[in-house]
Amino acid sequence: MRRGGLTEAEFENMFFLFAVAGNETLRNGIPGGLLTLLEHPAEFDRLRADPVLLDSAIEEMLRFWPLVMHFRRTATRDLTLGGRRIRAGEKVVVYHASANRDPAVFPDPDRFDIARTPNDHVSFGFGPHFCLGAHLARAQLRSVFRELLSWDVELVGTPRRLVSNFQNGLKHLPVRLRRRTSNR
């Protein structure tokens, strides 16, 4: 059976993709972004002092902690990329994690800078399959981290990472939260 331009199976797959793509990513992105801030306390303080940096801070968290580490593509034509010959039909793995630290694109790429501009990270991919949920993801990250700015956050244990070469995930991030009395 068809619904609009999609077969029933394609339609069901699309909802499955929404559920997985929208869930796994943020489930890892929120603690990943928080851990990055905790590991860079001067930048966390800077964000608290100047919350107008929230949008660029979120882009930097996404660059620094890419949630989807790689995707595979199939070359549709012969080409040379970065000096390597790739033939039509060959599989190519695109490492977002690596592209996000490319020194030719990002000055001092290993520095976490919440005001980094421009910040052309590829954590949402690129091209025709650019993440459909990027705006929703950014809105969710904004609302969580805006709220977290009113809390003191303390790491009270060892973070436990997800064992995966695909998702950059955290299984466990033990933190203690205490409501801040003022915006110091």
Question: Does 6 sit near ligand HEM (CB under 6 A)?
Answer: no
- How far are the Cα atoms of 36, 109, 182 from residue 63, in angstroms, in the given order? 11, 10, 30
Distance (Å, whole) CA 149 – CA 139: 16
Min. distance of Cβ 169 from ligand HEM in angstroms?
11
Identified binder of ligand HEM from the candidate list 54, 86, 126, 161, rule CB under 6 A: 126
Contacts (CB under 6 A) with ligand HEM, residues 25-64: 25-26, 29
Q: Kindly give, in sequence order, each residue whose CB lies less than 8 Å from that of residue 112, ignoring residues fewer than 6 positions away.
A: 36, 39, 40, 43, 60, 64
Residue among 110, 111, 130, 134 at smallest CA distance from 29: 134
Question: Does 18 sit near ligand HEM (CB under 6 A)?
Answer: yes
Identified binder of ligand HEM from the candidate list 37, 67, 97, 170, rule CB under 6 A: 67
Q: Which is nearer to ligand HEM, 51 or 133 (CB)?
A: 133
Task: Quickly list H helices, 78-161.
Answer: 96-99, 134-148
Number of residues that bind ligand HEM (CB under 6 A): 22
By the criterion CB under 6 A, which residues form the site for ligand HEM?
17-18, 21-22, 25-26, 29, 67-68, 71, 123-127, 129-133, 136-137
